[in-house]
C-alpha cells in the first residue's frame, strides 16, 4: 500500500466520518432527551414505525446505489478515477440530507451543556476512527481479492455506516459515563451536604402527573407565611436539584423539591439527596410505563416517598400509600362542587380546619385538585385557612399547562406540557365548554409501553364530536386515529400532519374569531 493510498484513505475516512456524524447529530439531542440512557435510546431507535431509522435506511440505500452506479458507469476511465468520481454523489447526498435535517428543526433543540458537547466531540472522533479503519479494511480486502469488481466497488460498504451510527453513539455514551458519573456526582454530593446542614423543612413532591403545578401552587401559598425556595421549572432529577441548591443556596424556611421518576430506584436516589420530612404524592397512572414496565412498579416507586417521610399528602389514586401519617384527598381534604369554564375554575376547598370558596385562573378539574393538594400541604406545614386563602388569591396560570391565551379573537388553550391520560381528558372537557368551534392539535400520549395503543385509542375516542382534530407526528397518531374512527368520529374532520409547524399553517387557514383551539401535548423529537 503506497503512501499516497494511505494518505487518501485517512483523508477520505475523516471526511466520511465527519459527514456521517453531521447527518446523525440530531441523535445526540434525542439521547439527551432520554437522559443519556443508552438502553432507552436504542429501544426507541429500533421500535416499530421509527422515522429516524427509516431515514437512515433510505440514506444508506441511496448512497449504496449511487456510489455503485457511478463506479460502474465511469469504470471506462479506470478504477481509480471511477472510485474518485463515486465520491461526488456520496458527498452530494450527505449535504442534501444535512440541509433537510436542518430545515426540519428539533422541537426540543440540543441543549449545549458541557456534557452534550463532550459527547458530541467524542462521537465525532470515534466516527473518524471508524471510517478510517473501515477505509483501510476495504482497501486491504480489495487488494487481497485481486478481482476487478471487488476493486471497483470497494467503497460501497461505506453506505452502511448510517445504520451503525445509533449503536456507535450509544457505545460512546457508555464510555463517557466513566467520566461523567463521578463528575456529576461531585456536584450532587455538594448539594446533598448543603441540604443536610440546612435547617429548612424539606418537602418532596412526586406523582405521575401534576408535580410541577402542585409545587408552583404550594410555593405561592407558602410564601404568604414562610421564606420558600422551590426547584424551578421541571427540575426534578439529581442534577436539577443539585443545580438549584448549588447555584441558589438554601436561605429559606421551606425547600420544595420536585421529584421525577422514570425507573425503579429514582425516588430512592432523590430521597437520599434531599432527605425530605414531608412528602406529596399527587397520584399514579400509567405514565412512564414504558420505562417502569408496569403500573405496579410505578406505584411502588412513587410510594417510596410516602414511606420515607414523617408526614405526607396523598392524591386520590395514591390513597393506598397511607401509613397512618397522611392527609388523603377525598377523606381529609378535597376540591368539591367544581365549576369549569374556559376562563377560570371555581370550587369549594375542604381542609381539616374548614372549607372556603375558591376561584383560580387555572383551568380544568385537575387544576382544582392540584390547588387542593398544595393547600393540604400548606395546612400540614402550619398555615391557617385564612393564610391559605390569601395565598391562593396570588396563584397565576402555569405556562403551557392548560394556559389560556387569546389572539385575533381566537381562544388558545396551551396544554403543551401535558403528557398523561388524566390531564388530557380534563383538557378536552374544558375545550368542550368553549362557545365557538372547537379545534384540537395533539400528537398523542407517550411513554406508556404496552398501554400505548389502548390509552391513545381512548384519547381518540374522547375527541369525537369536536369540530376539528389535527394529529401531529408519525408514531402515536395512528392509534389515536383508530380510536377516533372506532368511536364514530367523522373522518372528514381529522387530518394528520408531520410537524407542529404544518399544523399551525393549517390552523392559520381555518381558524376564525370565536374559535377555540387546544394544543394538547408537545412531544420530544423521538416521537
DSSP string, 164-210: HHHHHHHHHHHHHHHHHHHHHHHHHHHHHHHHHH--SEEEEEE-SS-
The pLDDT assigned to 107 comes to 64
* CB half-sphere exposure, 195, CA atoms < 13 A: 31
Q: What is the mean pLDDT of the chain?
A: 88
> C-alpha 255: how far from its chain's center?
25
**Is residue 322 domain-resident?**
yes
Domain identity same for 84 and 218: no
Domain identity same for 136 and 208: no
Domain identity same for 149 and 17: yes
The phi, psi pair for 328, rounded to 5°, reads -115, 130
The pLDDT assigned to 417 comes to 78
Of 426, 420, 483, give the one whose Cα is nearest residue 289: 420
What total number of domains does the chain contain? 3
Whole-angstrom distance, CA of residue 154 vs CA of residue 64: 11
Domain identity same for 227 and 339: yes
DSSP 525: T
**Is residue 110 domain-resident?**
yes
**Is residue 187 domain-resident?**
no
Whole-angstrom distance, CA of residue 254 vs CA of residue 383: 13
Whole-angstrom distance, CA of residue 189 vs CA of residue 210: 28
Q: Looking at residue 487, which CATH number applies to its domain?
A: 3.90.190.20
Residues contacting 342, CB < 8 A, separation 6+? 363, 404, 411, 413, 430, 431, 433, 434, 516
The pLDDT assigned to 70 comes to 83
**pLDDT digit string, tens, across residues 449-504:** 666 788 889 999 999 999 999 998 876 788 899 999 999 999 999 999 988 888 98
**pTM of the predicted model, to two decimals?**
0.79
Domain identity same for 247 and 159: no
Whole-angstrom distance, CA of residue 410 vs CA of residue 513: 5
**Is 340:365 a contact under the CB 8 Å cutoff?**
yes
**Is 206:256 a contact under the CB 8 Å cutoff?**
no
Domain extent for 131: 3-181
**Is 37:290 a contact under the CB 8 Å cutoff?**
no
**Is 67:159 a contact under the CB 8 Å cutoff?**
yes
Whole-angstrom distance, CA of residue 238 vs CA of residue 181: 12
As beta bridge partners, residue 346 has: 339, 359
Where is the domain boundary, 392, 424, 444? 392
Whole-angstrom distance, CA of residue 56 vs CA of residue 379: 55
**Is residue 17 domain-resident?**
yes
The pLDDT assigned to 105 comes to 61
Task: Give me Rg for the CA atoms of the chain.
Answer: 27
Domain identity same for 135 and 169: yes
Q: Where are the beta strands (DSSP E) in 21-74?
A: none
Q: Looking at residue 210, which CATH number applies to its domain?
A: 3.40.1190.10
**181-198 as b/e: b if 16+ CB within 10 A:** eeebeeebeebbeebeeb
First-to-final CA distance of the chain: 47
Domain identity same for 210 and 176: no
Q: How buried is 520 (Cβ within 10 angstroms: 0-12 exposed, 13-18 middle, 19+ buried)?
A: buried
Domain identity same for 32 and 132: yes
Whole-angstrom distance, CA of residue 472 vs CA of residue 158: 34
Domain identity same for 372 and 255: yes
**Is residue 189 domain-resident?**
no
The pLDDT assigned to 151 comes to 66
Domain identity same for 295 and 433: no
**Is 399:464 a contact under the CB 8 Å cutoff?**
no
Of 214, 211, 212, give the one whose Cα is nearest residue 222: 214
Q: Is 205 left (phi over 0), alpha (psi -120 to 50) or beta?
A: beta
**pLDDT digit string, tens, across residues 38-54:** 888 898 888 766 778 88
**Is residue 163 domain-resident?**
yes
Domain identity same for 410 and 388: no
One pLDDT digit (tens) per residue for the chain, 527 residues: 667 678 877 888 898 888 899 888 889 988 988 888 888 889 888 876 677 888 899 999 998 888 888 888 877 777 677 777 878 888 888 888 888 877 666 666 788 888 899 999 999 999 999 999 998 888 788 777 777 667 677 778 888 999 999 999 999 999 999 888 888 889 999 999 999 999 999 999 999 888 989 999 999 999 999 999 999 887 888 988 999 999 988 999 999 999 988 888 899 999 999 999 999 999 987 666 666 777 788 888 899 999 999 999 999 989 999 988 999 999 999 999 999 999 999 999 999 999 999 999 999 999 999 999 999 999 999 999 999 999 999 999 888 888 999 988 999 999 987 667 788 888 999 999 999 999 999 988 876 666 678 888 999 999 999 999 999 887 678 889 999 999 999 999 999 998 888 898 999 999 999 999 999 987 544 44
**pLDDT digit string, tens, across residues 142-196:** 777 777 667 677 778 888 999 999 999 999 999 999 888 888 889 999 999 999 9
**Is 441:518 a contact under the CB 8 Å cutoff?**
yes
**Is residue 186 domain-resident?**
no
Whole-angstrom distance, CA of residue 161 vs CA of residue 168: 10
The pLDDT assigned to 312 comes to 96
**337-357 as b/e: b if 16+ CB within 10 A:** ebebebeebebbbbbeeeebe
DSSP 157: G
The phi, psi pair for 470, rounded to 5°, reads -115, 115
Of 292, 229, 293, give the one whose Cα is nearest residue 256: 229
**Is 75:153 a contact under the CB 8 Å cutoff?**
no
Domain identity same for 105 and 221: no
Place of cell 365548554: 433
**Is 418:447 a contact under the CB 8 Å cutoff?**
no
Amino acid at each position: 500500500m503506497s503512501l499516497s493510498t494511505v494518505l487518501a484513505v485517512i483523508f477520505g475516512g475523516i471526511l466520511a466520518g465527519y459527514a456521517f456524524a453531521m447527518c446523525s447529530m440530531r441523535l445526540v439531542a434525542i439521547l439527551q432527551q432520554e437522559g443519556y440512557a443508552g438502553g432507552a435510546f436504542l429501544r426507541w431507535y429500533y421500535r416499530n414505525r421509527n422515522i429516524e431509522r427509516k431515514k437512515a435506511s433510505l440514506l444508506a440505500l441511496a448512497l449504496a446505489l449511487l456510489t455503485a452506479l457511478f463506479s460502474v458507469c465511469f469504470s471506462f476511465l479506470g478504477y481509480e478515477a471511477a472510485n474518485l468520481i463515486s465520491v461526488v454523489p456520496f458527498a452530494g447526498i450527505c449535504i442534501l440530507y444535512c440541509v433537510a435535517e436542518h430545515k426540519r428543526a428539533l422541537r426540543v433543540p440540543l441543549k449545549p451543556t458541557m456534557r452534550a458537547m463532550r459527547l458530541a466531540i467524542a462521537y465525532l472522533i470515534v466516527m473518524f476512527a471508524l471510517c478510517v479503519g473501515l477505509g483501510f479494511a476495504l482497501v486491504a480486502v480489495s487488494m487481497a481479492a485481486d478481482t476487478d469488481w471487488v476493486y471497483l466497488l470497494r467503497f460501497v460498504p461505506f453506505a452502511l455506516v448510517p445504520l451503525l451510527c445509533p449503536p456507535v453513539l450509544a457505545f460512546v455514551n457508555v464510555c463517557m459515563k466513566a467520566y461523567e458519573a463521578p463528575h456529576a456526582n461531585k456536584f450532587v454530593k455538594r448539594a446533598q451536604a448543603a441540604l443536610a446542614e440546612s435547617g429548612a423543612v424539606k418537602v418532596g413532591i412526586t406523582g405521575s402527573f401534576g408535580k410541577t403545578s402542585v409545587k408552583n401552587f404550594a410555593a405561592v401559598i407558602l410564601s404568604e407565611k414562610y421564606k420558600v425556595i422551590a426547584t424551578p421549572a421541571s427540575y426534578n432529577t439529581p442534577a436539577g436539584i443539585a443545580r438549584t441548591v448549588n447555584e441558589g443556596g438554601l436561605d429559606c424556611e421551606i425547600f420544595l423539591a420536585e421529584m421525577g421518576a422514570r425507573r425503579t430506584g429514582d425516588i430512592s436516589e432523590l430521597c437520599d439527596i434531599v432527605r425530605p420530612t414531608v412528602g406529596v404524592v399527587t397520584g399514579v397512572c400509567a405514565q412512564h410505563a414504558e420505562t417502569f414496565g408496569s403500573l405496579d412498579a410505578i406505584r411502588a416507586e412513587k410510594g417510596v416517598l410516602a414511606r420515607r417521610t414523617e408526614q405526607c399528602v396523598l392524591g386520590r389514586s395514591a390513597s393506598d400509600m397511607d401509613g397512618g401519617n397522611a392527609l388523603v384527598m377525598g377523606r381529609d381534604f378535597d376540591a368539591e362542587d367544581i365549576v369549569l369554564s374556559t376562563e377560570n375554575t371555581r370550587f369549594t376547598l375542604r381542609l381539616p380546619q374548614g372549607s372556603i370558596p375558591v376561584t383560580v385562573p387555572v383551568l380544568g378539574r385537575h387544576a382544582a385538585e392540584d390547588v387542593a393538594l398544595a393547600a393540604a400541604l400548606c395546612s400540614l406545614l402550619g398555615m391557617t385557612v385564612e393564610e391559605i386563602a390569601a395565598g391562593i388569591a396570588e396563584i397565576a396560570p402555569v405556562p403551557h399547562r392548560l394556559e389560556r391565551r387569546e389572539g385575533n379573537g381566537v381562544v388558545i388553550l396551551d396544554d403543551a406540557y401535558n403528557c398523561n391520560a388524566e390531564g388530557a381528558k380534563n383538557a378536552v372537557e374544558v375545550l368542550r365548554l368553549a362557545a365557538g368551534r372547537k379545534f384540537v392539535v395533539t400528537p398523542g400520549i407517550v411513554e406508556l409501553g404496552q398501554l400505548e395503543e389502548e390509552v391513545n385509542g381512548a384519547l381518540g375516542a374522547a375527541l369525537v364530536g369536536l369540530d376539528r382534530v389535527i394529529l401531529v407526528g408519525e408514531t402515536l397518531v395512528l392509534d389515536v386515529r383508530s380510536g377516533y374512527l372506532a368511536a364514530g368520529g367523522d373522518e372528514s374532520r381529522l387530518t394528520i400532519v408531520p410537524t407542529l409547524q404544518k399544523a399551525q399553517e393549517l390552523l392559520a387557514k381555518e381558524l376564525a374569531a370565536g374559535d377555540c383551539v387546544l394544543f394538547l401535548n408537545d412531544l420530544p423529537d423521538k416521537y
